[in-house]
Amino acid sequence: MKRFAQLIKILDSTNKTNTKVDALSAYFQAADDRDKVWTIAILSHRRPPRPVNTTLLRSWASEHANIPLWLFEESYHIVGDLAETIALVLPSPRSRTEKTLTQFLEEMISLKTKPEEEKRSYLIENWKDLDYYERFVFTKLITGGFRIGISQKLMTRALARATQMDEDVLAYKLMGNWDPGSISFTDLVLKENESDYLSKPYPFYLAYAMEGKAEDLGDVTQWSAEHKWDGIRAQLILRNSEIFVWSRGEELVTDKYPEFQEFVGRIPNGTVLDGEILPYPNGGIGSFNELQTRIGRKTISKALLAKTPVILKVYDLLEWEGKDIRGKSFLERRTLLETLCKNLTVEKDPLHQPLTHLQLSQTMRFNSWEAVAREREQAREAKSEGLMLKHWDSPYRVGRKKGDWWKWKVDPLTIDAVLTYAMRGHGRRSNLFTDYTFALWSETETGERELVTFAKAYSGLTDAEFRQVDAWIKKNTLERFGPVRSVVPQHVFEIAFEGIALSKRHKSGVATRFPRILRWRQDKKIADANSLEDLRALIPSEEKEFANNKNR
């Protein structure tokens, strides 16, 4: 545990990539093999379930620190991080622990089923034996919120240096459904395991956002354009007459999409497809808001399947006839994919019904970048976020690489809204109010206007602007609700967002996708801010029609 805490201290204290890689590489060379596995798991978001809720943590920490809970809460609001607050307020350790990272994690896993008093004793006894950074790490693991600014790519690079293995091979090995509590470092990293191959996906290739002008990419005929679909990026794997569906977040979600079982026996074994899971109600692409009704559900009922069916909009082929074809050009892969999809039609396969949950994403060729730009402007009508531009010669790479794949999203939707609530930020902004809630005008039954909240945003301003707004908030607070402050409605901000849909879960009746601050409209008074009607007018007419039909 000491070695792991020291590693986290180094990683948390620098923004330099090389320093982080050096620290991780040294750790992977020196640490116990079981601790290495757990470190890989933690840094790739395979954390054990949280055994204690944060309410109890705050209560027990304030008790052990011998301070009133209100003072602990005020400290927490200032510090902005629960684990750091606990590490700061607790008394000095009485002794030092010799337990390993693995021992701690195994204890935490078993702690989840223990009675509350036993959990309290466990936490306090261990807090007594840990120094500041060890307490910080220990509590982070307990809360399940371990985020330390290390990407899986960076961690894999360090592991490759420590083991002298190929980085791409390691990226492949670390994907899939493995359990850090039972797998050894040798089996996970060093050993070739043929049985692991059956369900393992490939690392996803990710596009960069367009930089500069599209014309800078050169000859337009060397590029494929296709719509950028707003769903869940997924790989669908068919091997040994079994199907596996993996999300980009490396989560096995096969059971969430039983519709795809129709592919077994129709799509040949040894096939891996890359595509987007999209909601498909009433025979058309729905909104991401509709897809969210299926995300996180433990069971998918027949009613939910009927209400929000899905399709896989497939756009790439990564494995064919059991062979990894990622090294082939995009043109070659697409040709094979189109042949596969054509052979799945009833005309080619008359003994079967058509596959109702698989669609091929169309690729488009253009003779000018002006024509590409015009297609991009029509993206929302096609229910997409914009265009994907892929060079016909490009292989399927690992991770985010510049050059061959670009995403050219449509300009965001915007609305002018009024700042009404604020919370402190996190990390380096934990001493500033930077998390804001915004409202729009709505007319009451008596004809008066009132502000109704519709979105939260915490990015888009410069550091200087955040400091300026923070100073104003502290002087213009109306009420406090724990960490939240309501403020005098005075400032207008232009809010940008990617998508919009009707929603019964929001007071405004509308949900926005990826809201963020575009600019501070100091030239506008709050009377000039937009209304909820203005916001609803941005919802596509077919979305409104679908919602109306659903409510009848």
The predicted-structure confidence for 264-274, as pLDDT tens digits, reads as follows: 999 999 999 99
Span 28-33, average pLDDT:
94
Res 478 pLDDT > 70: yes
Average pLDDT over residues 503-512: 84
Which H or E element spans position 482?
none
Q: What is the mean pLDDT of residues 444-472?
A: 91
Instruction: Give the Cα separation of 411 and 305 in Å (integer).
Output: 33
- pLDDT at res. 349: 66
Residue 330 has pLDDT above 50, yes or no: yes
pLDDT band at 17 (very low <50, low <70, confident <90, very high): confident
d(CA 421, CA 479): 9
pLDDT of the residue at 248: 87
> CA-CA distance, 185 to 14, in Å (whole number)?
28
Q: What is the mean pLDDT of residues 519-527?
A: 93
**Residue 546: which pLDDT band, with cuts at 50, 70 and 90?**
very low
pLDDT interval class at 249 (50, 70, 90): confident
Encoded tokens for 207: 């596009």
> Which parts of 211-367 fold into alpha helices (H)?
288-291, 302-307, 330-343
Provide the pLDDT for residue 11: 87
Query: What pLDDT, on a 0 to 100 scale, did the predictor assign at position 282?
Result: 86
Given a contact cutoff of 8 angstroms between Cβ atoms, the answer to whether 465 and 449 are in contact is: no
pLDDT digits (tens, 9 = 90+) for 101-147: 999 999 999 999 999 999 999 999 999 999 998 999 999 999 877 66
Q: What is the pLDDT of residue 550?
A: 52
Rounded to an integer, the average pLDDT of 390-401 is 94
- The average confidence (pLDDT) of the chain is 88
| pLDDT confidence of residue 543 | 58
Whether pLDDT at 63 is above 90: yes
**Structure confidence at residue 552 (pLDDT):** 46
State the pLDDT at residue 21: 93
- Express each pLDDT in 364-381 by its tens digit: 999 999 999 999 999 988
Statement: residue 548 has pLDDT above 90: no
Residues with Cβ within 8 Å of 264's Cβ and at least 6 positions away in sequence, in order, are: 238, 241, 242, 243
- Measured CA to CA, the distance from residue 51 to residue 62 in angstroms comes to 19
What pLDDT is stored for residue 489 in this prediction? 95
Q: What is the mean pLDDT of residues 288-308?
A: 82
Question: Dihedrals φ, ψ of 103, to 5°?
Answer: -60, -45
Based on C-alpha coordinates, what's the Rg of the chain? 26
Q: What is the pLDDT of residue 431?
A: 78
The DSSP secondary-structure symbol of 190 reads: I
Share of the chain above pLDDT 90, in %: 58
pLDDT of residue 194: 67
pLDDT of 193 above 70: no
CA-nearest of 467, 463, 458 to 493 is 458
- Tokens found for residue 442: 């709505």
pLDDT given at position 323: 95
**Weakest-pLDDT range from 10-14, 293-297, 357-361:** 293-297
pLDDT at position 347, please? Answer: 64
Other beta carbons less than 10 A from residue 352's beta carbon: 13
What are the backbone dihedrals phi and psi of residue 31, each rounded to the nearest 5 degrees, phi first? -75, 160
Percent of the chain with pLDDT over 70: 94
pLDDT confidence of residue 373: 94
Q: What is the largest CA-CA distance in the chain?
A: 77
- What pLDDT is recorded for position 124? 93
Q: In 61-71, which positions are buried (b, 16+ CB within 10 angstroms) versus exposed (e)? A: bbebbeeeeee
